[in-house]
Amino acid sequence: MRIILLGAPGAGKGTQAQFLMNKYGIPQISTGDMLRAAIKEGSALGMAAKQVMDAGQLVSDDLIIGLVKERISKEDCAKGFLLDGFPRTIPQADAMKANGVVVDHVIEFDVPDDVIVERMSGRRVHPASGRVYHVSYNPPKVEGKDDLTGEDLVIREDDKEETVRKRLGIYHEQTELLVGYYRKEAEQGRTQYHHMVGTLPVEQVSAKLEALLG
């Protein structure tokens, strides 16, 4: 059960990742967590990544692929793993293939930009507790105030409309190309590709995933 999740930020990948992890007993591998863990462990790749990051540079694809290979060889990945936010580009996908990292399922969460902007820019957060509200779907009892403390709610930088639109732009420019890439891989029998309508209720998306993956 080696899975890649594709979709724009705010398309619901994180929610379904939790469901898949619990259902199939597989870990989610995010490149950020993986980098931090490798640095903490002091592995050779981790130390190489730390040097690059300390110099304020981006970690190269080769280094990331090395870390992915190192991570998926660990015991908790015996039943499989879930890659979220990687690969982001076609060179990264090519490098994964060249390094023999096999993927069983690629799941694309398809949500229109305007829906994502509404989902994310409507979020309001209580900074002290981390409680999250939404102006449409889960509004606080008093507008702009936390239900329990009455303190002000804030809009996180990541949730501001201009930030969301910028991130969507980067997604369309770089990562969306992977949709075509993995569809071709599926046509050639190297993986299975699933297109999910991400605007459906969370439970329905989870049920569809369960039916697809068995």
Instruction: Tell me the CA distances in angstroms from 123 to 61, 132, 136, 156, one per residue in order.
Output: 33, 7, 9, 8
Known catalytic residue: 156? yes
CB 28 within 8 A of CB 77: no
24: Cβ contacts below 8 Å, ≥ 6 apart: 1, 79, 80, 213
Angle subtended by helix axes 44-54 and 61-72, to nearest 10: 150
Which residue of the set 36, 50, 145, 167 is catalytic?
167
Which residue of the set 2, 71, 119, 123 is catalytic?
123
How many residues does the structure list for the chain?
A: 214
Which residue of the set 2, 71, 88, 119 is catalytic?
88
Three-class secondary structure of residue 184 per DSSP: helix
Which residue of the set 13, 71, 119, 124 is catalytic?
13
d(CA 207, CA 16): 10
CB 9 within 8 A of CB 87: no
Known catalytic residue: 167? yes
Three-class secondary structure of residue 98 per DSSP: helix
Place of tokens 């694809």: 61
Place of tokens 């190309």: 177
Which residue of the set 23, 156, 166, 184 is catalytic?
156
d(CA 138, CA 141): 9
Known catalytic residue: 13? yes
Three-class secondary structure of residue 88 per DSSP: coil
Question: Would you name the residues annotated as active-site residues?
Answer: 13, 88, 123, 156, 167
